[in-house]
């Protein structure tokens, strides 16, 4: 049995105990949150070593931002875990059923999804989110420290510490082996860029929940409040450009473009955002705007770069999003109820906003607790089983 198979076997055994843990789950979650906060100095010291090594290896500033932890991010991890504990436990709830003509009572009951594996890149905060974890080498010391803190908290709460395990091998071979652990993992979740997600989707024999790479859009409708649009775009692009809910493309209706584009650019100039625009955008904003190419409409920049296109109608904006979006988060800025309805009905992304920044796409911001990954499959991380009660019926 390989090391990963043994980890999978341990996780399966832990999963059975966790499924029947009842209120002990809340106790364990609160222990984890407290342990993460109490271990802040240790975690930050490990993270500092990861960041230093990554910077020396030439990692980009945007990826360094994803890798970096600080007091606020540690606190956010802990609060995300506490918010899960505060929610009503869905396990055991009856979601459907009835009584058959033969007297059989059918109940469809919510149960845990099973053992979740996660393959992720330079995101140490993800280590506080799942069960069998395989992080990237860039964040290994951070991940190791967080995982050990949480394993200790599980054990302190009276639950098996193997409910959380970190794969120690960060080579490509370990991620490929993890994708084949069909007897041990019930689902695999990739967290990272398009390349990682594509690799897992194409190579995994374990069922995959495909999380969304972040090619997010804001469409500025012809009836939009221009100041609101500029503020939303500024926030959605510049508050933290390295994350997947930051926008990468802005679409502006032609009837408002001559007024809206200069106002938008003025805000973006505060953070020195490079605009890559279509010909109509360049005609309005001037020749210093970089000409946009086909690749710019598909790019997840994760940087202070933004693609901008002038469109003839809301229908063209929706068509553009359908063609190029990763299905993560899109927003419309409009005063028109009709436009808002059309946009929310026809845009098929995991989160669709009206007059708000895409930066709210986050489990904690939605009041849903720690974020496993924004799924373009729109799933909940529970399953159901049927419980059938009879009085001796046979078929």
Q: Give the C-alpha separation, 30 to 142, whole Å.
A: 21
CA distances to 218, 301, 320, 383 from 249, rounded to whole Å, are 7, 10, 10, 36
For the chain, percent of residues with pLDDT exceeding 90: 57
3-class secondary structure, 121: coil
Q: Give the C-alpha separation, 141 to 121, whole Å.
A: 13
Contacts (Cβ under 8 Å, ≥6 apart) of 377: 209, 210
Query: Which structural domain, as residue segments, surrounds residue 338?
Result: 216-360
Q: What is the pLDDT of residues 55-72, one digit of tens each?
A: 999 988 877 888 899 999
Residue 369 lies in a domain: no
Of 100, 62, 115, 117, the closest CA to residue 391 belongs to 100
Q: Give the C-alpha separation, 164 to 148, whole Å.
A: 9
State the pLDDT at residue 370. Answer: 57
Q: What is the pLDDT of residues 256-281, one digit of tens each?
A: 999 999 999 999 999 999 999 999 99
State the pLDDT at residue 373. Answer: 58
Length of the chain equals 395
- Are 392 and 252 within 8 A, CB to CB? no
**Is 289 found in the same domain as 347?**
yes
3-class secondary structure, 223: coil
Residue 98 lies in a domain: yes
**Number of domain units in the chain:** 2
CATH number at residue 198: 3.40.605.10
**Is 229 found in the same domain as 160?**
no
Q: What is the pLDDT of residues 99-124, one digit of tens each?
A: 999 999 999 998 888 888 988 876 67
Q: Quote the DSSP letter at residue 100.
A: -
State the pLDDT at residue 136. Answer: 81
**Is 52 found in the same domain as 152?**
yes
Of 205, 202, 55, the closest CA to residue 122 belongs to 55
Give the global pTM.
Answer: 0.73
Q: Give the C-alpha separation, 324 to 215, whole Å.
A: 8
Q: Return the CA Rg of the chain.
A: 23
**Is 128 found in the same domain as 272?**
no
Instruction: Look at 368 and 140; give whichever has higher pLDDT.
Output: 140
**Is 106 found in the same domain as 236?**
no
**Is 239 found in the same domain as 205?**
no
The residue-averaged pLDDT of 193-210 equals 85
**Is 224 found in the same domain as 201?**
no
Residue 295 lies in a domain: yes
């Amino acid at each position: 049995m390989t090391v990963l198979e043994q980890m999978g076997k341990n996780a399966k055994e832990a999963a059975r105990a966790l499924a029947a843990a009842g209120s002990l789950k809340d106790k364990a979650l609160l222990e984890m949150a407290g342990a993460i906060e109490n271990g802040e100095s240790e975690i930050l010291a490990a993270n500092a070593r990861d960041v230093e090594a990554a910077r020396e290896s030439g990692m980009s500033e945007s990826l360094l931002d994803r890798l970096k932890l600080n007091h606020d991010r540690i606190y956010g991890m802990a609060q995300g875990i506490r918010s899960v504990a505060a929610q009503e436990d869905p396990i055991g709830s009856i979601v459907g059923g009835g009584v058959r003509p033969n007297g059989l009572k059918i109940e469809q009951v919510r149960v845990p999804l099973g053992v979740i594996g996660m393959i992720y890149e330079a995101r140490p905060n993800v280590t506080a989110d799942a069960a069998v974890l395989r992080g990237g080498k860039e964040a290994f010391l951070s991940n190791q420290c967080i995982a050990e803190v949480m394993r200790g908290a599980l054990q302190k709460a009276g639950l098996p510490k193997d409910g959380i395990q970190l794969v120690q091998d960060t080579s490509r071979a370990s991620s490929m082996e993890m994708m084949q652990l069909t007897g041990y993992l019930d689902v695999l979740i990739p967290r990272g860029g398009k390349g990682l997600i594509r690799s897992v989707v194409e190579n995994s024999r374990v069922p995959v929940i495909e999380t969304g790479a972040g090619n997010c859009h804001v469409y500025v409708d012809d009836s939009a409040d221009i100041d609101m649009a500029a503020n939303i775009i500024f926030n959605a692009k510049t508050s933290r450009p390295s994350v997947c809910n930051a926008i990468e493309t802005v679409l502006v209706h032609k009837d408002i473009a001559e007024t809206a584009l200069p106002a938008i650019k003025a805000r973006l100039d505060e953070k020195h955002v490079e605009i890559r625009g279509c010909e109509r955008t360049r005609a309005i904003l001037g020749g210093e705007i970089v000409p946009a190419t086909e690749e710019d409409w598909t790019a997840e920049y994760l940087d202070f770069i933004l693609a901008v296109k002038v469109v003839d109608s809301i229908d063209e904006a929706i068509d553009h999003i359908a063609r190029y979006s990763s299905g993560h988060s899109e927003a419309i800025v409009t005063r028109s109820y009709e436009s808002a309805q059309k946009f929310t009905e026809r845009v098929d992304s995991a989160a669709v906003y009206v007059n708000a920044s895409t930066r709210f796409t986050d489990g904690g911001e939605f009041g849903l607790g720690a974020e496993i990954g924004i799924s373009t499959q729109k799933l909940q991380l529970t399953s159901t089983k049927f419980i059938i009660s009879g009085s001796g019926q046979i078929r």
